[in-house]
């Protein structure tokens, strides 16, 4: 469809039409009928359901089972677990040389995106 009106011409056309429409007084009961159509619900602040209690019970039982399981292990197995934990911790510390450069690159890229977004907003404003 060929649209030959400019935005200024469209605005002028709409303004002319709005001026020609006859004004009708507003009915007196408009606010009561509008307010009657608005349905209000009371907002519940905080409610615990049975699912919340069930989930907390399951998580508590799982933590208790792990704790009892660790307490019932033989001392030799506990010693081996401690050794493996120390080895994993040392491996993380030794191989953490990648952590500082990757973190600084991530922060730099994030700040660059924020700066570009702010520049676009100030340009269009």
pLDDT over 70 percentage in the chain: 93
pLDDT at residue 99, as a whole number: 79
Is 103's pLDDT higher than 80?
A: yes
pLDDT at residue 120, as a whole number: 78
Say if pTM beats, i.e. exceeds, 0.75: no
Is 80's pLDDT higher than 90?
A: yes
* pLDDT tens-digit series, residues 7-35: 899 999 999 998 888 888 877 777 777 77
Which residue from 113, 109, 108, 107 is spatially nearest to 121, judged by alpha carbons? 113
């Amino acid at each position: 469809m060929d649209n030959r009106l400019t935005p200024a011409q469209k605005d002028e056309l709409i303004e002319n039409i709005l001026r020609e429409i006859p004004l009708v007084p507003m009915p007196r009961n408009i606010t009561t009928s509008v307010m009657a159509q608005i349905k209000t619900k009371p907002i519940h602040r905080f409610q615990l359901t049975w699912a919340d209690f069930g989930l907390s019970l399951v998580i508590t039982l799982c933590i208790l089972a792990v704790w009892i399981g660790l307490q019932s292990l033989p001392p030799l197995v506990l010693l081996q677990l401690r050794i493996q934990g120390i080895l994993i911790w040392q491996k993380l510390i030794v191989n953490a040389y990648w952590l500082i450069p990757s973190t600084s690159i991530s922060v730099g890229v994030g700040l660059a995106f924020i700066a570009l977004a702010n520049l676009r907003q100030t340009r269009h404003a």
